[in-house]
Amino acid sequence: MADQKKMVEDITSMEVDFAKWYTDICKKAELVEYTSVKGCMVIRPYGYAIWENIQRILDAKFKELGHENVCMPMFIPESLLQKEKDHVEGFAPEVAWVTHGGAEKLEERLCVRPTSETLFCEHYANIVHSHRDLPKLYNQWVSVVRWEKTTRPFLRSREFLWQEGHTIHATAEEAVAETEQMLNVYADFCEQHLQMPVVKGQKTESDKFAGAVSTYAIEALMHDGKALQAGTSHYFGDGFAKAFDIQYQSKENKLEYPHQTSWGVTTRLIGAIIMTHGDDNGLVLPPDVAPIQVVIIPVAQHKEGVLEKAYALRDQLSASFRVKVDDSDQSPGWKYSEYEMKGVPVRLEIGPRDIEANQCVLVTRHNREKTVVSLDNLADSVAEKISEVKQGIWEKALENRTRRTYKCTTMDEIKSVLAEKGDGFVHAMWCGDEACEDKVKEETGVGSRCIPFEQEQISDKCVCCGKPAKCMVLWGNAY
């Protein structure tokens, strides 16, 4: 059994101070570094490589489903932003404005995109004229700016990286299907590639995207019991089309308004990974997005043949995995701790005694279990360990969510279960009235996260007012 003692004294324990633990990991695992502008951070190579892996997998999926990548400009003229009333009301409080070009004051100020619906709409108005022009299935990988008041690495920064998909369809049915399809893409990605269980659901009226008919989201539960929205997908109906005057001629030779969607995930997913899988020894990365999947640590590397063997194993394994040999002159123990901090899923130790015996030591990050394996069929042994890590972290994350999911039928029950067991997901019935939604938040501290697709009839009365319930809501304290 692996020694479970905490090796890295530099990281604040998550039990002691979860928030400090989180920022410690962001910095010590070399994911981010602050800059002199509040809320604007450097995503360092190791952190960016995680994002590149997320991009690679999702981008391939988007394209497989027929989407094309485009790139919109980053400036939006004020008049354009204001065309859709709900949209501008939602975003105006947090946009950054450009007022000057060089020394010249601009005729009209430009906002730095907080999201690009308006730009896509302006563009669609130019290029969509006939039913033959539809659908357009677009996506872009860019950064956006939202002038947040309080900021945290990955979870809430003033500039962040994301992808935003924007599609436009002839019919509402098609657009609704697209919205649902992309929510499923996100959910599958989180569960299959990030080993992060999510709840799919619809946002309540008060919580939906500014300008949307309906907003869908996937909600994940972090290790500390707080909820994190991991991705969203919006159905716009023809509201934007009407506001931006986008029309097409149908087969029946009639002018029609098309229907739109948008959907996105952000670098916040990296924060979700940290808080879902990390432990007191540092980051624990899902193998599919880990920049390094296997780190080879040569032991007594000055001795004849050790480094050569390490390089040979790397070359052999590189056909199937992302592999690194750490041949720096740090001690082996230092390297063990370093790559645990960085969350590398599998460590391979190779020393003179191993070489003699045609074997090596494999260590899985999430449980620190050591296994001695033969150098024959090594790629198979490593693949097995990788899948053990996936299975292990999935079960651990799922167990945390199950343990922290509570069914409640009264307000008092919500309060007492949260006080007793700590933050988590609360399942409780709701009448559909916004006043009750607000009151639950006010009295118990948990807000509505979503109305899960998977419903359960916990009771027939609203947890707040006692009137007939319409649906079960997932409540939680969110990041």
Partner RNA sequence: CGGGGUGUAGCGCAGUUUGGUAGCGCGCUUGCUUCGGGAGCAAGAGGCCGGGAGUUCAAGUCUCCCCACUCCGACCA
**Residues in the site for RNA, rule: CB under 7 A?**
2-3, 7-10, 19-20, 22-23, 34, 36-40, 93-94, 146, 148-158, 160, 209, 229, 232, 264, 266-268, 281, 299-302, 329-334, 336-338, 340-341, 349-354, 360-361, 363, 368, 370, 441, 445, 478-479
Smallest gap from residue 213 Cβ to RNA (A): 15
Nearer to RNA, 318 or 330 (CB): 330
130 C-beta neighbours (distance < 10 Å), count: 11
Smallest gap from residue 257 Cβ to RNA (A): 25
The closest of 196, 272, 266, 259 to 232, measured between CA atoms, is 266
User: Residue 442 burial by CB count (10 A; 0-12/13-18/19+): exposed, middle or buried?
Assistant: exposed
User: How distant is the alpha carbon of residue 90 from its chain centre?
Assistant: 22
Backbone angles phi, psi at 235, to 5 degrees: -105, 125
d(CA 49, CA 55): 10
Backbone angles phi, psi at 271, to 5 degrees: -60, -40
Smallest gap from residue 404 Cβ to RNA (A): 17
Smallest gap from residue 353 Cβ to RNA (A): 3
Nearer to RNA, 257 or 425 (CB): 425
Smallest gap from residue 209 Cβ to RNA (A): 6
Nearer to RNA, 19 or 60 (CB): 19
Nearer to RNA, 134 or 220 (CB): 220
DSSP character at residue 43: E
Write the CA distances from 432 to 102, 205, 380, 384, 443, integer angstroms. 52, 9, 53, 48, 17
The closest of 377, 434, 140 to 264, measured between CA atoms, is 140
Nearer to RNA, 34 or 75 (CB): 34
Smallest gap from residue 33 Cβ to RNA (A): 9
d(CA 232, CA 186): 8
d(CA 51, CA 160): 12
Nearer to RNA, 61 or 441 (CB): 441
Smallest gap from residue 427 Cβ to RNA (A): 21
> 277, 306 in Cβ contact below 8 A?
no
Nearer to RNA, 37 or 103 (CB): 37
